[in-house]
Structure formats: C-alpha cells, structure tokens
Amino acid sequence: MSHSTQDSKQFPVALVTGGVKGIGRGICHVLAQKGYRIALTYHSHADDSESFTKELKHIYGADPFALESDLTQPGEPKKVVDAVLEKFGRIDLLVNNAGQSTMKPLTELEEEEIAWMIALDYTAPIVLSKYAVRSMIERGIPGSVHFITSSRGERAYPGDSIYGGMKAALIRSCGSLALEWAPHGIRTNCVAPGATVNDLDQDARTEPLGRKIPLGRLGTPSDIGEAVAWLASDKAAYITGINLRIDGGLILPGMPEDTSEEAGYGWGFMHPEHD
C-alpha cells in the first residue's frame, strides 16, 4: 500500500548510510518494502542517488530522502541526523552501513589512509549512533541501531588490520552500547555479511568463491536487508548486543578462500561449477 494513502506519521523512519550501492541498496529495498520511510546517505553524485530514490518511491512509495555526505568529516554525522530529523521528525532505525576497506599491508599504508579508514569505519558510525539515539531517547522511541560489521571482524586476513580491526571494534562497542541503551528500550545489534555481491554484473550463484562457501553461493544484498529488517522488528524484541553473521557458513571451516586448485579446499565441501 502506498504511504500516500495513509497518515505518514505511522510509518517508521530508517536512516541507512551508504544506501545507494551494494549492501546498502539492498537494505533500503527491503526496509522500504517493509514500510519504512527511507533516509540514506551517499558519498558522491557518481553514486546515482537520484535514480535510486525515484525507484524506491515508484516501487514502494517510500518517501526517500537522500543526503550527499562525507561522514569522515568532523561534524558531518550530526548534520546528517539533524537533517533527517528536520525532514521526518524522528529516526526509528539507524543502519550504519557505509564503509570501505583496503587489503594493503600496514607497512604500505600512509598515515592519512589509516586515519581515513578509522574515521569512516569506526568513528562515523559511533558518532551517528550517539546523535540518533539521543533523538530516540528525547522522543521516547524504543528504536534500533544496527552496525554492519563483517566476518572479517572475527577472522583475520593479511592486509586487513585496519578495516577488520574496526569491524571487531564495532562488535565490542555494540555490547557496551546495548547495556547503556537497554533502559530506554533501544536495542543495538551487529549484522556481519560474509562474501556478498556488490556490483550489478555479479551473480551470487556463479561467482567462483561461491563454490567454496558451505551453502554454495555468495550472499546477496537482500540477504543482509532481510536480516536487518528482522532484527529491527518486534519478532526480535528480546535480542540486543549480538553479532549476527550472514555468511552462508563461510568462516566455519577455516578454509582458504583462494579459488585456485593449488590452494586446496580446507575443511569445506567444494560445490560443482554451475552451468
């Protein structure tokens, strides 16, 4: 049912950072389908936010609101929260999805690169959560905060000391924040994707790494979106402070993820190639 046919105040508001591409795009689609009004951030005009918000409005009547934002800049997270509150008057769900990684060894990273990744992958979601939750407490909203982490927050990889380290830090911080916010009825959880398709020309069923994942394929953005929506719903009302891994069993066997035959197959089952 289109939101325009009913009082929009009854529809909850979700703020999704990095909401135009990849996993963020899938999360926005699922939340819009579930009845959320969508606010989203994107980093540059190249992210094609205009066509995506038109798509959300056309399909779901989701009343989308897109903000271009560099969340690594001081003061920017507060500006984003203030803009969403001015537009919609409330935030019921914050999904901290924006992030970026590199697979460079630490010795090859410039200090500026390290500081930038820490700002985007850890500081920005923490500060956004501070202001979003403050608004929930002020309005008496028993909302939710989700951190999109990663299986890389639990499993170490070479070249992943900063991104993986920041995802691990979010998981740890989430537990403390769950305790701080529980008296207000506000829940916070982490959703940890494994290997997930991000580009439109990728097929989760035929990507080579999918053969080595126990469930036989890569994840999709909608897999992550459905987990986010469920954790934010009343069906998960007794869950807070967890890290929910959505990875098809990827890191359970401890298998090497190199798809070449000489890498071996670890402890996992190797699926046959798709036709």
**Long-range contact list for 198-204, CB < 8 A, 24+ apart?**
198/21, 198/22, 198/23, 199/22
273 in any annotated domain: no
Q: Flag the least confident range among 76-90, 152-166, 185-199, 252-266.
A: 252-266
Q: State the Cα torsion 116-132-21-157 to the nearest 10°.
A: 50
Q: Does the pLDDT value for residue 211 go beyond 90?
A: no
Look at residue 273 in the predicted model and tell me its pLDDT: 75
Look at residue 82 in the predicted model and tell me its pLDDT: 98
Look at residue 262 in the predicted model and tell me its pLDDT: 59
Top mean pLDDT of 41-45, 112-116, 193-197, 266-270 is at 112-116
Please confirm, yes or no, whether 163 is among the known catalytic residues: yes
268 in any annotated domain: no
Look at residue 256 in the predicted model and tell me its pLDDT: 57
Q: CATH code at 210? A: 3.40.50.720
269 in any annotated domain: no
Q: Does the pLDDT value for residue 267 go beyond 80?
A: no
271 in any annotated domain: no
Q: What is the mean pLDDT of the chain?
A: 89
pTM of structure = 0.89
Catalytic residue among 42, 122, 163, 238: 163
pLDDT in tens, 16-42: 999 999 999 999 999 999 999 999 999
Look at residue 264 in the predicted model and tell me its pLDDT: 56
**Long-range contact list for 50-57, CB < 8 A, 24+ apart?**
52/20, 52/25, 52/28, 56/28, 56/29, 56/32
Q: Of residues 146 and 253, which shows the higher confidence score?
A: 146
- Per the structure, the complete domain to which residue 40 belongs is given by 3-263
Model confidence at 149, in pLDDT bands (50, 70, 90)?
very high
Sheet holding 65-68, edge to edge: 65-68, 37-42, 13-16, 93-96, 144-148, 187-193, 243-246
Q: Does the pLDDT value for residue 214 go beyond 90?
A: no
Q: Does the pLDDT value for residue 125 go beyond 50?
A: yes
Model confidence at 165, in pLDDT bands (50, 70, 90)?
very high
Give the count of domains, the chain.
1
25 in any annotated domain: yes
Look at residue 266 in the predicted model and tell me its pLDDT: 56
83 in any annotated domain: yes
Model confidence at 207, in pLDDT bands (50, 70, 90)?
confident
Question: Per-residue pLDDT averaged across 193-215, rounded?
Answer: 81
Look at residue 175 in the predicted model and tell me its pLDDT: 98
Q: Of residues 214 and 36, which shows the higher confidence score?
A: 36
